[in-house]
Amino acid sequence: MSVDPASLSYEDFVQGIEDRQRRRQLLFREGRPYFVLVSQQFSRADLEGLCDTATAIRRLDRHRDGVDFLRRILHGHRVMNLFAQPSTRTAESFIAAADKLGASTRLVSDMRTSSFAKGETVDDSVRTLSSFFDTIVVRHPDDDFAMRASWALARSGRPIPVVSAGSGKSQHVTQSLLDVYTLRYSFASRGGIDGKRIVLVGDVGRNRAARSLAYMMTKFDVHRLDIVCAKDHLPEGGLLEYISRHGIDVRIHERLAPALEKVGKEVDAVYMTRLQQEWDGDAGGTPDQKGKLGTNEDFVLHPEYAKYLRDDCVIMHPLPRINELPEPWESHPGFVVWRQVRNGMWMRSALLASIHGAADEIRARAARLSLV
Amino acid sequence: MSVDPASLSYEDFVQGIEDRQRRRQLLFREGRPYFVLVSQQFSRADLEGLCDTATAIRRLDRHRDGVDFLRRILHGHRVMNLFAQPSTRTAESFIAAADKLGASTRLVSDMRTSSFAKGETVDDSVRTLSSFFDTIVVRHPDDDFAMRASWALARSGRPIPVVSAGSGKSQHVTQSLLDVYTLRYSFASRGGIDGKRIVLVGDVGRNRAARSLAYMMTKFDVHRLDIVCAKDHLPEGGLLEYISRHGIDVRIHERLAPALEKVGKEVDAVYMTRLQQEWDGDAGGTPDQKGKLGTNEDFVLHPEYAKYLRDDCVIMHPLPRINELPEPWESHPGFVVWRQVRNGMWMRSALLASIHGAADEIRARAARLSLV
Amino acid sequence: MSVDPASLSYEDFVQGIEDRQRRRQLLFREGRPYFVLVSQQFSRADLEGLCDTATAIRRLDRHRDGVDFLRRILHGHRVMNLFAQPSTRTAESFIAAADKLGASTRLVSDMRTSSFAKGETVDDSVRTLSSFFDTIVVRHPDDDFAMRASWALARSGRPIPVVSAGSGKSQHVTQSLLDVYTLRYSFASRGGIDGKRIVLVGDVGRNRAARSLAYMMTKFDVHRLDIVCAKDHLPEGGLLEYISRHGIDVRIHERLAPALEKVGKEVDAVYMTRLQQEWDGDAGGTPDQKGKLGTNEDFVLHPEYAKYLRDDCVIMHPLPRINELPEPWESHPGFVVWRQVRNGMWMRSALLASIHGAADEIRARAARLSLV
């Protein structure tokens, strides 16, 4: 039954992860996540556990005793954040998450200064750098870098856990984990995520966060997913079929205003995203072209659309935002965007704690202190 | 009476800081500095307290027990150093200062890798990054960046203290704090800073350190301030009037030698600065033009000028120096330039401790151990 | 007898280090290394002690108590890694080494952002930055930078230890220390390094690691050193004479295959290195020219050469490797390349501990726990 990743070719490892049966054997060890690569790898029970751990950490962190307790969890442990694709906010979120558990952290972001530049293979580079660490967090423009690194480490003499912090255009697992956590938290007094109706707005095809969240929603009994997206930016790779197959009613809209006008009052959460212009050859995402940045009218949540939504509708955005979610929304009762940012840190702490088998201890401590 | 920064527009916040009455309400909380933006914000009592705390920290740091005590002060606390304008020495000084109190520190220096580059507003960027930290230290080429960041955080749901580490050409508050500390220390057996006569030499108009020190001197009964400065580089923005208005006798000289020849024996401290050539369009401050770097003869403290000065005259420089303070001065009894560098670290520790309400505890501990 | 480095001119300091008699007086304090600049500075007893300390640290690190014990050794201590020549792997190895002893570490790698760029002297820059630290590790493309920094600090009012992490083309001391450690470990059941026969393959003239190892071998009774090297890349600067003078039988070969065919079965270790193409004006070492990277057939250890070697022959490489040590060698019983990487971290910890007088305490602790 069990599969030893060390015995597989890279192609077989990738195929194994595609396969729902073998995926868990390849990515988990002793029931705990070891390689965190795709949103699909987590069961609903995994997600509930991660959310509970995140809440325990968040509350323990408010008191000096809790802070000291948490900083013992990964004391002496070293986490490398290998960010070939720069992303200050995600890197700082991971670093804060590890730091709160007492781990030592390093950010390696300039790949040109490593031996990658001297003609070394990716496998050698990752193995060498991993020698000084106990966990590696990777972000890379190549879709398969985190997977390749996991495979190379699995067959090395000293494997360590790998967490993807975003790979190319494909997925952004930890963003979807924090989104699930934020939704669950927001719906705590309304029966949780099950039965809810969610609207995803923007460049869903190229926005890793939106893609990963859509995958994650299939783990819950989400009632309906409305996607508001330009035709050119519809997700590829079978995402829509995947969601439908999991029993979620998916609808596509080409403009935001008419969609909200029709169904806004039934909507429980609106998840906004920005246009991913950095992937466009012509537009680019450089500050010099700031004037051109931002999405067009069809995908902006104008303040006057508040009338279409209920007051308890949750408003989310993975940030950064350009023009699609204007500032007046900050005073809307359901605006949880800044909470999402903090939740990212708590959820990443929870993930690291789970990987290293400390989740039970953390939740038990919080329970004993009546914090959860 | 009290002013809530959260309720002000940015323009009103800036105006409030210009106003001596409202400044303290905007920049202090519970009697402690919260936003550290301008030299003028500190009262003489504030400055004396910071100096005493710096001395306590410096002496506690000499013993293992003291080191351990200090590292508990900000244990679990996270400090971000956001340096959009690179300055390794200032950044490392702040990082060492926070590290000595046990805080976790991060240096974020490549703004291009953050979402600033994706068209996000400064307010959003600062709020997002601040989510992972408890204090933010900022250095930026724009004169008002630190102020803008303070305002944005003041009105956010999770404000944290902001310390300016130098803004554009305007001010360099913590440099002036360390200079005050060094002067006070140097004059300890001669009645302190009051009644002293100080000479400021160099590009006073564009040197942040010199400008900030001049402001700071008005908090003490400095007898006279001689400024030796090329006509083109005289300070703007009412600095000279401000100093005169505070009862200090200010004199301007165009060349150093004749000024020292005339008044040198009455001078208690000479504060040298380099020519800020990086602001000159033509000269630049790049290493390739090293040959051109440095000030002209009129503002160099030649070793032979020692004859004009008393042996107990204090010789200071904020560094880096080019040619204006030659190496032979290192053996002068009043040469305290390297002490200034160390004092910068101690004073920044004292400032962080004061912001977070730990100054009294630190001074009490040092007193109990008879260290102060 | 004793020499005070502070009283020497820089030229005398450099000459003093060339002189075997005065070297120890200049580079050691109270019998402990203070400035670590050249492989020749260590006696055989120094090397044995460093190896024993490295083993003690490696074993203590396996248990929570040992981890906590180690992290108290340099608690409150600050180590700057000043890497003007980027090298992610060496920097991360040093940082991990210091971190395991509980020191706070900083990596300063972009010299353009420091005041070096403002026309400041190297002496001032090093002294300023050193003010915030207790040890400095330096890597620089200039052969004499670490030496100059040591001299400048020796004559400052606050000297701190300096460790070279590789200087120009000349030496890479800590690499040779880890190589000695790995050899000693590999030959533990075969009487140690004495009497062994070692083959050095590749660009020995320009490979710092190979050069430094060759120097180090003279401290042991190595039987014979075979160097397989293109005529153009033979080491300069008297290295071969130096080794011969120390009683080692040195032989030069121009191609690897015939050399191994003849003497392979008598060889105890093969030390492979890559062609240092980054020093070639035309070839360069950039990723764009990847196709051109790598050594030619004469210096590749082809898998089929295994038949020429004994099974207990040790296979080493300082990494990164290009094509000269193909992947199939990983399953050879003597392949210790990944162990070398880990050993680098342990040896650098041992070096830092020795510099700061903690080596005895660490070895005693490990002995008491029966770990060594």
Q: Are strands B28-29 and B32-33 parallel, antiparallel or unpaired?
A: antiparallel
Task: Return the axis-axis angle of helices B337-355 and C122-130, rounded to nearest 10°.
Answer: 30
Tens of pLDDT, residue by residue over C201-244, are 988 888 888 888 888 999 999 999 999 998 888 887 788 898 99
Which A residues, 269 through 288, put their C-beta within 8 Å of a C-beta on chain B?
A: 274, 278, 285-287
| pLDDT, mean of residues A145-160 | 95
pLDDT of amino acid C284: 39
Best residue in A92, A274, A279, A322 for a mutation probing chain B (most B CBs within 10 Å): A92
Tens of pLDDT, residue by residue over B336-363, are 999 999 999 999 999 999 999 999 999 9
Taking the Cβ of residue C156 and every Cβ of chain A, the question of whether any pair is shorter than 8 Å is answered with no
Taking the Cβ of residue A10 and every Cβ of chain C, the question of whether any pair is shorter than 8 Å is answered with no
Do the Cβ atoms of A119 and C285 come within 8 Å? Answer: yes
pLDDT of amino acid A285: 39
Tens of pLDDT, residue by residue over C7-61, are 899 999 999 999 988 999 999 999 999 999 999 999 999 999 999 999 999 999 9
Q: Residue B193: pLDDT band by 50, 70, 90 thresholds?
A: very high
Best residue in C132, C136, C153, C158 for a mutation probing chain B (most B CBs within 10 Å): C132
pLDDT of amino acid C259: 96
Other Cβ atoms closer than 10 A to C277: 21
Q: How far is CA C227 from the centre of its chain?
A: 19
pLDDT of amino acid C297: 86
| pLDDT, mean of residues B77-87 | 92
Closest CA to A315 of A340, A351, A352: A340
Name the fold adopted by C173-339.
Rossmann fold (3.40.50)
Residue C27 to residues B186, C20, C23, C186, Cα–Cα distance (Å): 34, 11, 6, 30
Distance, in Å, from the CA atom of B220 to the CA atom of B43, rounded to the nearest integer, reads: 10
Q: Residue B143: pLDDT band by 50, 70, 90 thresholds?
A: confident
Closest CA to A5 of A161, A121, A136, A122: A161
pLDDT of amino acid C234: 84
Tens of pLDDT, residue by residue over B227-279, are 999 888 888 778 889 899 999 999 999 999 999 999 999 999 999 998 876 65
Would the pLDDT of A284 be above 50? no
Residue C280 to residues C203, C232, C283, Cα–Cα distance (Å): 12, 12, 5
Do the Cβ atoms of C89 and A114 come within 8 Å? Answer: yes
Q: Residue A283: pLDDT band by 50, 70, 90 thresholds?
A: very low
For chain C, the 3-state helix, strand and coil shares in percent, each to the nearest 5, are 50, 15, 35
| pLDDT, mean of residues B322-343 | 96
Do the Cβ atoms of C92 and A129 come within 8 Å? Answer: yes
pLDDT of amino acid A282: 43
| pLDDT, mean of residues C332-357 | 98
Do the Cβ atoms of C117 and B345 come within 8 Å? Answer: no
Do the Cβ atoms of A89 and B127 come within 8 Å? Answer: no
Prediction ipTM score: 0.94
pLDDT of amino acid C283: 40
Closest CA to A108 of C132, C126, C107: C107
pLDDT of amino acid B297: 86
Query: Which spans in chain A are helix H?
Result: 10-18, 20-27, 44-60, 64-73, 88-100, 122-130, 145-154, 173-186, 208-217, 239-245, 256-263, 337-355, 359-368
Is residue A30 classed exposed, middle or buried when 0-12, 13-18 and 19+ CB atoms within 10 A define those classes?
Answer: exposed
Is residue A221 classed exposed, middle or buried when 0-12, 13-18 and 19+ CB atoms within 10 A define those classes?
Answer: middle
Tens of pLDDT, residue by residue over A302-342, are 999 999 999 999 999 999 999 999 999 999 999 999 999 99
- Both tokens of B151, joined, read 């305002």
Tens of pLDDT, residue by residue over A212-232, are 888 899 999 999 999 999 888
pLDDT of amino acid B293: 67
Contacts 24+ apart (CB under 8 A), A186-194: A186/A269, A186/A314, A186/A334, A186/A336, A187/A268, A187/A314, A190/A268, A190/A312, A192/A220, A193/A217, A193/A220, A193/A221, A193/A222, A194/A220, A194/A221, A194/A222
Domain boundaries, chain A: 5-172+342-360, 173-336
Is residue A348 classed exposed, middle or buried when 0-12, 13-18 and 19+ CB atoms within 10 A define those classes?
Answer: buried
Hey, CA dihedral for B220, B221, B223, B225, is it positive or negative? positive
Do the Cβ atoms of A64 and B78 come within 8 Å? Answer: no
Q: Which CATH superfamily is domain B5-171+344-360 in?
A: Aspartate/ornithine carbamoyltransferase (3.40.50.1370)
Q: Phi/psi at B9 (nearest 5 deg)?
A: -70, 165
Closest CA to B205 of B235, B180, B165: B235
Distance, in Å, from the CA atom of A260 to the CA atom of A304, rounded to the nearest integer, reads: 11
Tens of pLDDT, residue by residue over C180-191, are 999 999 999 999
Distance, in Å, from the CA atom of C20 to the CA atom of C4, rounded to the nearest integer, reads: 16
Give me chain A's average pLDDT, please.
91
Which of A190-194, B4-8, B80-84, B193-197 has the lowest average pLDDT?
Answer: B4-8
Residue A294 to residues A90, A231, A287, C310, C314, Cα–Cα distance (Å): 21, 17, 12, 66, 60
Q: Residue A276: pLDDT band by 50, 70, 90 thresholds?
A: confident
Contacts of C345 in chain A (CB under 8 A): 131-132
For domain C5-172+342-359, give the CATH number: 3.40.50.1370
Contacts of B82 in chain A (CB under 8 A): none
At a CB cut-off of 8 Å and minimum separation 6, what does C111 contact? C84, C117
Distance, in Å, from the CA atom of B49 to the CA atom of B350, rounded to the nearest integer, reads: 9
Q: In what helix (H) or strand (E) does residue B104 lie, and over which residues does it extend?
A: strand B104-108
Contacts of B274 in chain C (CB under 8 A): 118
Taking the Cβ of residue B77 and every Cβ of chain A, the question of whether any pair is shorter than 8 Å is answered with no
pLDDT of amino acid B221: 92
Closest CA to B163 of B347, B360, B10, B2: B347
Q: Residue A286: pLDDT band by 50, 70, 90 thresholds?
A: very low
Closest-CA residue of chain B to C76: B67
Report the half-sphere exposure of B322 (CA within 13 A, side-chain side). 25
Q: Are strands C32-33 and C35-36 parallel, antiparallel or unpaired?
A: unpaired
Q: Measure CB to CB from residue C132 to each of B96, B294, B338 and give the nearest one.
A: B96
Contacts of B345 in chain C (CB under 8 A): 131-132
Chains in contact with chain A (at least 3 beta-carbon pairs closer than 8 A) = B, C
CATH class of A5-172+342-360: alpha beta
Give me chain C's average pLDDT, please.
91
Percent of chain B whose pLDDT exceeds 70: 92
Q: Residue A290: pLDDT band by 50, 70, 90 thresholds?
A: very low
CATH class of A173-336: alpha beta
Q: Phi/psi at A166 (nearest 5 deg)?
A: 115, 120
Q: Can you spell out the DSSP letters for C286-340?
A: -GGGGGG-S--GGG---GGGGGGS-TT-EEE--S--SSSS-GGGGGSTTB-HHHH
Which of A115-124, B80-89, C88-97 has the lowest average pLDDT?
Answer: A115-124
Would the pLDDT of B280 be above 70? no
Q: Are strands C78-83 and B314-316 parallel, antiparallel or unpaired?
A: unpaired
Distance, in Å, from the CA atom of B77 to the CA atom of B61, rounded to the nearest integer, reads: 19
Would the pLDDT of B84 be above 70? yes
pLDDT of amino acid A253: 95
Tens of pLDDT, residue by residue over A231-266, are 888 887 788 898 999 999 999 999 999 999 999 999
CATH class of B173-341: alpha beta
- Both tokens of C273, joined, read 């290195």
Q: Measure CB to CB from residue B92 to each of C106, C124, C156 and give the nearest one.
A: C106
Which of A278-287, C39-48, C79-88 has the lowest average pLDDT?
Answer: A278-287
pLDDT of amino acid C50: 98
Would the pLDDT of C106 be above 50? yes
Contacts of C274 in chain A (CB under 8 A): 118
Distance, in Å, from the CA atom of B324 to the CA atom of B293, rounded to the nearest integer, reads: 11
Closest-CA residue of chain B to A72: B76
Three-state secondary-structure class, residue C123: helix
Q: Token match 């070719």: residue?
A: A9
Q: Measure CB to CB from residue A341 to each of B116, B118, B128 and give the nearest one.
A: B128
Taking the Cβ of residue A131 and every Cβ of chain C, the question of whether any pair is shorter than 8 Å is answered with yes
Q: Residue B287: pLDDT band by 50, 70, 90 thresholds?
A: very low
Residue B178 to residues B183, B338, B340, Cα–Cα distance (Å): 9, 12, 7
- Both tokens of A123, joined, read 């496998």
Distance, in Å, from the CA atom of C139 to the CA atom of C128, rounded to the nearest integer, reads: 17
pLDDT of amino acid C282: 43
Is residue B1 classed exposed, middle or buried when 0-12, 13-18 and 19+ CB atoms within 10 A define those classes?
Answer: exposed
Q: Measure CB to CB from residue C115 to each of B71, B89, B294 and give the nearest one.
A: B89
Q: Can you spell out the DSSP letters for A146-179?
A: HHHHHHHHHTSSS---EEEEEETTTB-HHHHHHH
Percent of chain C whose pLDDT exceeds 70: 92
Distance, in Å, from the CA atom of B158 to the CA atom of B156, rounded to the nearest integer, reads: 5
Distance, in Å, from the CA atom of C45 to the CA atom of C168, rounded to the nearest integer, reads: 28
pLDDT of amino acid A278: 62
Q: How many helices (H) and strands (E) does chain B have?
A: 13, 12
Taking the Cβ of residue A345 and every Cβ of chain B, the question of whether any pair is shorter than 8 Å is answered with yes
Which C residues, 47 through 76, put their C-beta within 8 Å of a C-beta on chain B?
A: 75-76
Taking the Cβ of residue A337 and every Cβ of chain B, the question of whether any pair is shorter than 8 Å is answered with no
Distance, in Å, from the CA atom of C145 to the CA atom of C164, rounded to the nearest integer, reads: 9
Q: What angle do CA B66, B58, B177 make, to 5 degrees?
A: 140
Tens of pLDDT, residue by residue over C133-174, are 999 999 998 889 999 999 999 999 999 999 999 887 778 899
Best residue in B88, B99, B338 for a mutation probing chain C (most C CBs within 10 Å): B88
pLDDT of amino acid C112: 61
User: What's C283's DSSP letter?
Assistant: T
Would the pLDDT of A1 be above 70? no
- Both tokens of B17, joined, read 């800081």
Percent of chain A whose pLDDT exceeds 90: 75
Q: How far is CA B163 from the centre of its chain?
A: 11
Residue C217 to residues C118, C234, C313, Cα–Cα distance (Å): 43, 17, 17
Closest-CA residue of chain B to A289: B119
Q: Same fold for the domain at B5-171+344-360 and the one at B173-341?
A: yes
